[in-house]
Every structure is written in C-alpha cells, then in structure tokens.
C-alpha cells in the first residue's frame, strides 16, 4: 500500500473520505463537498443512523456532481475528545470500510477540526498511520482462496494543507509500523517454519539497519551455564538460541547504561511432559510473541534512527516432550547459581526468562529491564484481552510504562507483588520451584519468580498472554498477531530515554 500527502484537490476517480464530527457536523471541506453533490451527503446522513460517532462510517455511492465514485463519511465524535488514537482509529475504519468494496484508491480530506487543538499535519499523519496498521495481512500461505478476494486498496492519499510537514513526520510513524509488521509476521508464522535457529536468522536481518546482532548457540549457552533455559530446550531436536540485539543510537550519551528489553521466545509450547490438552494447542505457536515484540521494537528503533541505546535479548527454545525431555521434579541450576525445582514443565517461560534476565543485567549493566512474555493463562482470567498485565519492582518505571501504553492504545494494568506471594514459590528441595500455590494468583507467582533473577535492577514484567493474538478485527489491529508492545515500548523509549 502506498501513502502520499498532497494539497487538497478532489480526485478524478476512486473514493473520497471525509471526516465528520459528532451530530453530523461537517467541516468546511466537507461542506464544500456536500454542496458540490447537491446536498447528497447531508441527505445520506439524515437517511441513516450515521451521526459521526467515533469509528462510524457511511458510504455514499455514485454521488452526483463530482468525479469520485464514492464518498466515505468517517465519524470522529466530539471535537474536544479527538486524540491521536481517535484519528488512527478513523484511518483503520476507512481501510475496514473499503476492504470488501474492490476500491483501489482513497483520497482522505484530512482537514483541521473546528474546536480541536490538533495541528493539521498530525491529523493527516495519524489517519495514515492508523490505515497502514489496519491494512496488515498475513496471507503468504493462502494460494487458492477464490472465495475471499484479497483487499484491492493500493493507494491512500492524504489531502492536507500541511503536506510537507505531514510527509516528514509520517516517516517516523512508518518506521514503527514496519516494526509492528515484523513482529506480526514472526508471531504469525507456524512453528515448523519459525523455531529457534530460524528465528535467530530473522534477527540477523536487523544487521542491515545497523543493529549489532549476536547469536549464542547451544555450545555457548552450556558454557555460560544457562541451566534453566537449557532444561526447557533439552526435549527438542531444535536447539535453543539466545540472541542479543544492540542499537546504539546515542553513542555520546552521558549515561552509557542501555535500556534492556527481554523477550520470551518459546517457538512452540506443548507443555513438555506436563503436556497441554490438544484443543487449542496450535495457539502455542505464538508463545514466542514476547521475543517477536523485542525484535520488532529493535527494528522500529533502528529504522527511525532513535537517539537511544537499547539492548534487546530474546531466549529462543522449543518446549517438547520426548525421551530427553525435562521431568517434573527435576532440579536445575540457573545461570544465577540459584537452583529451581521444576514442578510443572509447562511453566517454562519463567525458566527461559530467568537465565535471560540474569544474563542481561550481568552482561550489559542496564539502567532498567523490561521483559515481555506470554507467561500465564491466568492473566487472561484476570484481565481478558483488553489490558496486558504489568508487574514491577519500581513504581516510577511502572507509571511511565502505563502512560506510554495509554498514549498508544496498548493499555497495561498493574498487579501487586510482595513477600506473601514470594513465599509461595519456595521449594522443599531447591531454592525455589517454578509454580506457586495451586491455581491462586498464577500470574503473580510467575512475576515473583522472575523478580528473583533481576538482581535489584529496576525492572518491569509485561504479561501479554491475553493481548498478543486477537480473534477479531478492531481499530488498527486486524485479527491475528497484534504486535502489542512494539508501539508501547517505542513510545516509552521516545518519551523517557531519547535525546531529541
């Protein structure tokens, strides 16, 4: 899909999209268009339930008086409630509305909104960004689907008085979208295509953008002593990898300590010997979503040349049952030296992250660490698919992450931690066990476990099990892999750890 920004002029064909504020309020460009059609837009609105609410659309076909074949009215709601997210949602709604129409080209009248302080350029930019994010497809394995024709929309042109400024600021948004798409692609791939070795290969692609990529293989992981991660991997013929990606966008920074982002990359989670039920097990191909977010984030930062120093670390393993697989009751020695009794081989993500977190703080002395993981089914019970779970040993970090999430539409909800929960993972046989007290507070038990491997560094854990994959289209996220976390962390870094 191609995006362009030009000065307002009505197109000779295709669709013209025009924004409408609450109570069927057209702006001056909208009123102009309405007049040219002999009042057709007003009549169409009055003849329908369309009132200009957020995310509402109404298509007016073959309008008289203009060349375009269709006018698409797009609701934004009340002017003073309109934010970047509203506009991104509108961009998404335009793509969704035209998806099945066969339309190949849309021109969006991105006019300034009466009663809103938003600058003209950002109105165009945010609509374009939302459209771009929503237009994502993962259909590379569909070769013969005749019933569902592929969406035809190829060109999106934003009509704005501030075309040059919009074009410039769209470039940074576009880089983030590239990162989100990289994540969505990786997470969507099946586990026979993406396994630790091949996922590490995909990480290597980032070298082209200036990211320094180091892949630690089995031999190296053994030598380092990553016993917790290796225990998970030992049942699979696909060997594990840990990949370190470094983006040094601010080499002259006063404070040289990087921000570290760590991701769970279980490329398939059968549960191991504590095997999962068959129903829905295919979903566990996306148990590497945490690592997918880290990889996509590094791509976004590099693509927009972020002035920040960030290290991304992903632990890549496959959790399989076999004659060589780890058994319940096995005791492993983690990289930190702490021993772990593996009560349930399906609580494998925390074992992988334990060694990755310890390695990261030890090797890179980061100013802070954030990990992302599809860690627990329990977080879906707690928060559903609306918020990701947030856990932290640092209130300021938790607040900054929450604010970034709110700003980009990837909301977090913080859950408590504490000594009373920590006790639940004590073991009679080792320093700790990998599960808590039965089914109670399962997500917190996971977070308490991770906390024992951060060595006091400011740290946050984001449990994305409920948000990494969506079963229905919405806003800027088509169904499938969401890429949740890329936009959030990009914003967090831009706001807190980047020089301008």
Please give the residue ranges that form the binding site for Zn ion (CB under 5 A).
266, 269, 287, 349
By the 8 A CB rule, do 64 and 33 touch?
Answer: no
Is 276 part of the annotated catalytic residue set? Answer: yes
Q: How many residues bind ligand BES (CB under 6 A)?
A: 14
Interface with ligand BES, residue 236, by CB under 6 A = no
Scanning 307-394, the segments in alpha helix (DSSP H) are: 349-364, 378-383
CB of 177 to ligand BES, least distance (A): 25
Interface with ligand BES, residue 258, by CB under 6 A = no
Do β-strands 331-333 and 339-341 pair in parallel, antiparallel, or remain unpaired?
antiparallel
Interface with Mn ion, residue 346, by CB under 5 A = yes
- Considering the complex, state which of residue 347 and residue 401 has its C-beta at the smaller distance from Mn ion: 347
Of the candidates 129, 306, 138, the residue with the CA atom closest to the CA atom of residue 209: 306
The CA-atom distances, in angstroms, between 370 and each of 48, 261, 311 are: 48, 5, 11
Of the candidates 26, 130, 117, 58, the residue with the CA atom closest to the CA atom of residue 88: 130
Is 350 part of the annotated catalytic residue set? Answer: yes
CB of 269 to Mn ion, least distance (A): 4
Length of the chain: 500
- Considering the complex, state which of residue 277 and residue 418 has its C-beta at the smaller distance from ligand BES: 277
Residues 134, 264, 299, 350: which is the catalytic one? 350
The binding track of 452-491 with respect to ligand BES, each residue x by CB under 6 A or -, is -------------x--------------------------
Scanning 205-322, the segments in alpha helix (DSSP H) are: 218-224, 227-233, 289-303
By the 8 A CB rule, do 186 and 203 touch?
Answer: no
- Considering the complex, state which of residue 27 and residue 436 has its C-beta at the smaller distance from ligand BES: 436
CA atoms within 13 A on the CB side of 466: 21
- The three-class DSSP label of residue 364 is helix
Interface with Mn ion, residue 318, by CB under 5 A = no
| Stretch near ligand BES under the rule CB under 6 A, chosen from 153-161, 241-249, 346-354, 355-363 | 346-354
| Stretch near ligand BES under the rule CB under 6 A, chosen from 27-35, 228-236, 291-299, 343-351 | 343-351
When binding is defined by CB under 5 A, the residue of 174, 269, 318, 371 that contacts Mn ion is 269
The binding track of 420-439 with respect to ligand BES, each residue x by CB under 6 A or -, is ---------------x----
By the 8 A CB rule, do 255 and 366 touch?
Answer: no
How far is the C-alpha of 306 from the C-alpha of 155, rounded, in Å?
28
Q: Which residues are catalytic?
A: 276, 350
Residues forming contacts to ligand BES in the complex (CB under 6 A) are 269, 287, 344, 346-349, 374, 376-378, 435, 442, 465
Residues forming contacts to Mn ion in the complex (CB under 5 A) are 269, 346, 348
């Amino acid at each position: 899909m191609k995006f362009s920004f030009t000065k307002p002029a009505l197109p000779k064909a295709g669709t013209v999209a025009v924004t409408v504020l609450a109570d069927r309020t057209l702006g001056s460009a909208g009123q102009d268009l309405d007049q040219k059609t002999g009042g057709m837009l007003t009549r169409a609105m009055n003849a329908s339930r369309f009132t200009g609410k957020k995310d509402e659309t109404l298509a007016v076909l073959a309008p008289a008086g203009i060349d375009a074949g269709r006018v698409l009215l797009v609701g934004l709601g009340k002017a003073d409630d309109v934010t970047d997210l509203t506009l991104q949602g509108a961009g998404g709604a335009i793509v969704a509305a035209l998806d099945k129409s066969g339309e190949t080209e849309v021109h969006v009248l991105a006019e300034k909104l009466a009663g809103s302080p938003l600058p003209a350029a950002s109105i165009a930019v945010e609509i374009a960004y939302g459209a771009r994010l929503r237009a994502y497809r993962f259909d590379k394995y569909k070769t013969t689907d005749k019933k569902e024709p592929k969406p035809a929309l190829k060109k999106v042109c934003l009509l704005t008085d501030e075309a040059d400024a919009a074009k410039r600021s769209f470039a940074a948004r576009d880089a983030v979208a590239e990162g989100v798409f990289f994540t969505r692609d990786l997470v969507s791939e099946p586990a026979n295509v993406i396994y630790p070795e091949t996922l590490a290969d995909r990480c290597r692609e980032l070298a082209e953008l200036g990211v320094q990529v180091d892949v630690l293989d089995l031999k190296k992981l053994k030598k380092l002593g990553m016993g917790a991660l290796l225990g998970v991997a030992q049942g699979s013929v696909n060997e594990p990898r840990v990949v370190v990606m470094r983006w040094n966008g601010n080499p002259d920074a006063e404070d040289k300590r990087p921000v570290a982002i760590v991701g769970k990359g279980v490329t398939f989670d059968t549960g191991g010997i504590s095997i999962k039920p068959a129903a829905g097990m295919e979903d566990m191909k996306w148990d590497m979503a945490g690592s997918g977010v880290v990889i996509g984030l590094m791509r976004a930062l590099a693509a927009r040349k972020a002035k920040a120093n960030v290290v991304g670390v992903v632990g890549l393993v496959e959790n399989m049952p076999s004659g060589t697989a780890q058994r319940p009751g096995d005791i492993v020695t983690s990289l930190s030296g702490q021993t772990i009794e593996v009560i349930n081989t399906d609580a494998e993500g925390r074992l992988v992250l334990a060694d990755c977190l310890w390695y990261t703080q030890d090797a890179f002395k980061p100013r802070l660490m954030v990990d992302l993981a599809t860690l627990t089914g329990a977080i879906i019970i707690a928060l559903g698919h609306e918020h990701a779970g947030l856990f932290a040993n640092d209130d300021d970090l938790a607040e900054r992450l929450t604010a970034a999430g709110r700003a980009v539409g990837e909301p977090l909800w913080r859950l408590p931690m504490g000594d009373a929960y920590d006790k639940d993972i004590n073991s009679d046989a080792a320093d700790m066990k990998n599960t808590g007290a039965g089914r109670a507070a399962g997500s917190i038990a996971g977070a308490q476990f991770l906390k024992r491997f951060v060595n006091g560094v400011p740290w946050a854990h984001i449990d994305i099990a409920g948000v990494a994959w969506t079963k229905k289209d919405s806003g800027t996220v088509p169904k499938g892999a969401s890429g949740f976390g890329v936009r959030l962390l990009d914003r967090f870094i831009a706001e807190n750890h980047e020089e301008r």
